[in-house]
């Protein structure tokens, strides 16, 4: 029986997974425990984290949208308030003409000095009004126009006919007018106009002015979002920047190509959670943006908040959550590895010890200290092993004693029958001789069996003694061949042995080595079955010369087979091959050949007797001499048994 425990108990082995030399997985149970612990702890955690992240993100987006919307709405209100207040500045109340006692019907009826005083007062009070004029409704000509020049307020030299200009026509029609924004050297400006009515509500003129958008710029400049990084800007209907939290509007920037701005300028609002946009801004920052359109003034109010700042809180939460999940995952993996090891290791210990028991080794108990049912199982296992050990010892003792006790009587039987055959009790007739010869043969087999059993018993009891010394292999082989030559001659088997004279000495026990050689060469002879009806061997022509130890042969002599012995030096080993031309051994049989009581059972070998212990004993002896033994064979073509032994140190 081979010593490899896996030969007896077949264990499925998985490839171990190691990390930094630490075994993470490696057995099925460990894999299962590891995977399931990780699954039940990490997956819910990851899902919870993802869900939490989603909800937090959604909530945060809602918050950002709400903040931006509030800022936009407030900006809209401020802009509307500024424009409305400015327009209201131009609303002029014309009372009764004191000279006539009737309402004024035309602007020219007013005293130019009075009008100038009023207009100049407005220009002095409101610094962002650049021009102001009053136009008569009838002749459509400017009655008075004041301009804020570099040297102060001056009268316009030219009083134009403005009848075809939009701001006059609208106001003359009774509506307040707020014109388009246009760019000037002093910044964006717009024209406003309002109808001038007398105390009866009749429109007698138009008051018009051109205003800078400084108040809007001032309001927008104060608006911030988040950590002062978010900003607002106002765009006029052609996409020209009017005001910006951080930048001078005189930068003449056209931002109408920004998709969000274009969308808003088309008259739509882009606010709320659904209206939020994210893009790289005109100024190169990734922003979250929203916008709203002031249709009454043709202005778009856009809020842009750099993502970096807007999502700073979310990034913090996300990073903390990711850190937590990673930490828990790592901890879970480590814990699951330890947990798996804690469960698997005692089981592995039990498996290891049970494998030793399977090959009859009871010298080691399972050491499991888990303080739980697995330790109880290990203790029970150790108790069971003790019982088995006792049984095994009893069996070995029985075999040894039985074999030993049997050897004395069978030896006596052998001696006495031999004496009877030799005529010590008087002459024997042929029939008696024949019967006694069969008794001798049977007794011989019995002696062999008893000897083999004793040898096996010694081996298993550890009493097989081997003393290795440096030995010359060739004389020993020659001696064995000489001993077995009669047996070979009986079957017309020729020995072939041409050793190299320079072979090194080998470390072996001479008696045990002879035992090995006798067994292997004897088997070679035994399993080389002579051919019948042949007068010449097919191999005769290739037989070696008369130098062989089997002695000279003459041409034409019948040879039924050959047994070839040769040596080979392989590194620090001397290998001896015994090759026969016998029946050969099947692959299946080769695997069990060195097991106890195994015999190759074929049609050709059924008549050959044996105990089935020879090769087991040979293997024990060779291994005891620190050697190895193996066989190569092919059915019908013979076998080669090889054993290698260590070369004596003196040979090097």
Partner 1 sequence: MKRLFVVGLLCGMVAASAVGLFLFKNRVEENVKVTQSQIHRYGDPETSIEKVRIKAFYVVPTDQNEVNEEKWRWLRARMIYALDQAALFHEVQFRRQSAIVYDIYPNPVILSRNSDYYDAGSRTVILISNEIEKRVFRPSGDLYDESFVQSGPSEYNVIGLVYEGPGGWGGAVYESGLEDPEKIADCLGISPAMVAIVEGEFADGFFLVSNKEYFFDPNFRSFGTSIVYHELGHAMGLPDRYVSKGIEIDNVSASCDEPPEQAAGVVSVRQTNDIMGLGRFKPIEINYIDRELTREMGLVE
Shortest distance, position 183 Cβ to partner 1, whole Å: 5
Angstrom CA distances, 200 to 96, 103, 204, 206, 371, stand at 9, 7, 10, 16, 108
Nearer to partner 1, 175 or 367 (CB): 175
Distance CA 317, CA 321 (A): 6
Shortest distance, position 164 Cβ to partner 1, whole Å: 3
Nearer to partner 1, 302 or 449 (CB): 302
Shortest distance, position 286 Cβ to partner 1, whole Å: 9
Nearer to partner 1, 143 or 641 (CB): 143
Identify the residue whose tokens are 């050897």: 407
Nearer to partner 1, 7 or 252 (CB): 252
Shortest distance, position 621 Cβ to partner 1, whole Å: 46
φ, ψ at 125 (rounded to 5°): -75, -35
Buried b (16+ CB within 10 A) or exposed e, 348-366: bbbeebbbbbeeeebeebb
Shortest distance, position 308 Cβ to partner 1, whole Å: 13
Identify the residue whose tokens are 């089935």: 612
Shortest distance, position 351 Cβ to partner 1, whole Å: 20
Distance CA 513, CA 621 (A): 8
Nearer to partner 1, 147 or 343 (CB): 147
Shortest distance, position 50 Cβ to partner 1, whole Å: 4
Identify whether the C-beta of residue 117 lies closer than 8 Å to the C-beta of residue 254: no
Best CA proximity match to 284, nearest among 258, 317, 256: 258
Nearer to partner 1, 180 or 491 (CB): 180
Nearer to partner 1, 131 or 564 (CB): 131
Shortest distance, position 335 Cβ to partner 1, whole Å: 17
Structure tokens at 85: 């207040």
- SS3 at position 560: coil
> How many other CB atoms are there within 10 angstroms of residue 47's CB atom?
10
Identify the residue whose tokens are 């809020």: 303
Shortest distance, position 642 Cβ to partner 1, whole Å: 43
User: Which residues, in sequence order, are CB contacts of 61 under 8 Å at separation 6+?
Assistant: 273, 276
> How many other CB atoms are there within 10 angstroms of residue 63's CB atom?
14
Q: List, in sequence order, every beta strand (DSSP E) within 64-215.
A: 96-97, 102-103, 129-136, 142-149, 152-155, 177-184, 187-197, 203-212
Nearer to partner 1, 58 or 334 (CB): 58
Q: Any bridge partners for residue 132, and if so which?
A: 146, 209
Could you give the angle at the alpha carbon of 44 between the alpha carbons of 39 and 45, nearest 5°? 105
Nearer to partner 1, 51 or 606 (CB): 51
- Residues of this chain that bind partner 1 (CB under 8 A): 28, 31, 35, 38-39, 42-43, 46-47, 49-51, 53-54, 57-58, 61, 130-131, 147, 149-151, 154, 156-158, 160-165, 167, 180, 182-186, 189, 191, 210, 212, 238-240, 250, 252-260, 276-282, 288, 307, 314, 318
User: Own/partner pairs for 378-382, CB < 8 Å, 24+ apart?
Assistant: 378/346, 378/349, 378/350, 381/350, 381/353, 381/354
Nearer to partner 1, 69 or 580 (CB): 69
Best CA proximity match to 337, nearest among 24, 19, 5: 24
Shortest distance, position 641 Cβ to partner 1, whole Å: 44
Q: Where are the alpha helices (DSSP H) in 423-509?
A: 430-460, 473-490
Nearer to partner 1, 240 or 506 (CB): 240
Shortest distance, position 311 Cβ to partner 1, whole Å: 9
């Amino acid at each position: 029986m081979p010593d490899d425990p896996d030969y007896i108990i077949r264990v499925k082995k998985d490839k171990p997974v190691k990390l930094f030399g630490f075994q993470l997985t490696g057995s099925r149970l460990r894999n299962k425990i590891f995977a399931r612990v990780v699954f039940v702890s990490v997956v819910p955690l990851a899902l919870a984290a993802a869900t939490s992240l989603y909800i937090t993100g959604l909530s945060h987006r809602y918050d950002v949208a709400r903040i931006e919307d509030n800022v936009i709405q407030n900006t809209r209100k401020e802009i509307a308030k500024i424009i409305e207040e400015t327009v209201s500045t131009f609303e002029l109340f014309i009372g009764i003409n004191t000279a006539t006692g009737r309402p004024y019907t035309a602007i020219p009826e007013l005293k130019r000095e009075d009008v100038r005083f009023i207009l100049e007062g407005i220009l002095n009070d409101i610094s962002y009004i650049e021009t102001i004029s009053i136009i008569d409704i009838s002749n459509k000509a400017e009655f008075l126009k004041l301009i804020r020049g570099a040297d102060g307020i001056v009268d316009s030299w030219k009083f134009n006919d403005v009848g075809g200009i939009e701001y006059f026509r609208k106001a003359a029609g009774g509506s307040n007018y707020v014109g388009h924004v246009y760019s000037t050297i002093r910044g964006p400006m717009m024209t406003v106009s309002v109808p001038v009515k007398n105390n009866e509500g009749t429109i007698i003129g138009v008051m018009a002015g051109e205003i800078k958008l400084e108040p809007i710029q001032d309001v927008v400049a104060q608006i911030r979002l988040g950590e002062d990084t978010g900003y607002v800007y106002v765009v006029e209907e052609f996409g020209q920047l009017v005001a910006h939290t951080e930048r001078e509007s005189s930068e003449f920037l056209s931002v109408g190509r920004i998709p969000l701005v274009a969308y808003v300028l088309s008259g739509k609002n882009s606010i709320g959670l659904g209206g939020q946009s994210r893009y790289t801004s005109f100024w190169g920052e990734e922003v979250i943006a929203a916008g709203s359109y002031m249709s009454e003034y043709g202005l778009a109010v856009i809020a842009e908040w750099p993502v970096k700042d807007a999502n700073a809180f979310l990034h913090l939460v996300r990073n903390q959550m990711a850190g937590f999940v990673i930490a828990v995952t790592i901890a879970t993996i480590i814990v699951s590895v330890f947990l798996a090891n804690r469960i698997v290791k005692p089981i592995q210990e039990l498996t290891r010890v049970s494998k030793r028991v399977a090959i009859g080794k009871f010298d080691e108990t399972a050491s499991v200290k888990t303080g739980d049912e697995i330790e109880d199982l290990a203790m029970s296992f150790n108790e069971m092993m003790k019982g088995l050990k006792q049984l095994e010892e009893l069996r070995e003792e029985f075999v040894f004693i039985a074999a030993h006790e049997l050897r004395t009587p069978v030896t006596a039987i052998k001696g006495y029958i031999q004496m009877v055959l030799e005529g010590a009790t008087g002459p024997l007739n042929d029939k008696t001789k024949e019967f006694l010869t069969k008794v001798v043969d049977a007794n011989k087999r019995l002696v062999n069996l008893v000897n083999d059993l004793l040898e096996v018993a010694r081996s298993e009891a550890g009493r097989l003694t081997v003393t290795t010394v440096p030995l010359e292999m060739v004389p020993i082989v020659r001696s064995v061949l000489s001993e077995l030559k009669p047996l070979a001659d009986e079957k017309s088997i020729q020995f072939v042995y041409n050793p190299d004279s320079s072979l090194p000495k080998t470390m072996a026990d001479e008696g045990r080595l002879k035992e090995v050689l006798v067994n292997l060469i004897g088997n070679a002879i035994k399993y080389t079955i002579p051919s019948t009806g042949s007068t010449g061997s097919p191999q005769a022509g290739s037989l070696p010369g008369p130098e062989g130890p089997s002695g000279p042969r003459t041409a034409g002599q019948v040879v039924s087979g050959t047994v070839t012995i040769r040596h080979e030096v392989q590194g620090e080993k001397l290998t001896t091959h015994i090759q026969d031309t016998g029946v050969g051994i099947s692959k299946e049989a080769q695997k069990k050949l060195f097991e106890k009581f195994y015999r190759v059972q074929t049609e050709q070998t059924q008549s050959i007797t044996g105990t089935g212990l020879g090769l087991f004993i040979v293997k024990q002896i060779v291994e005891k001499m620190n050697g190895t033994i193996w066989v190569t064979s092919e059915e019908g073509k013979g076998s080669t048994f090889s054993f290698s032994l260590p070369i004596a140190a003196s040979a090097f």
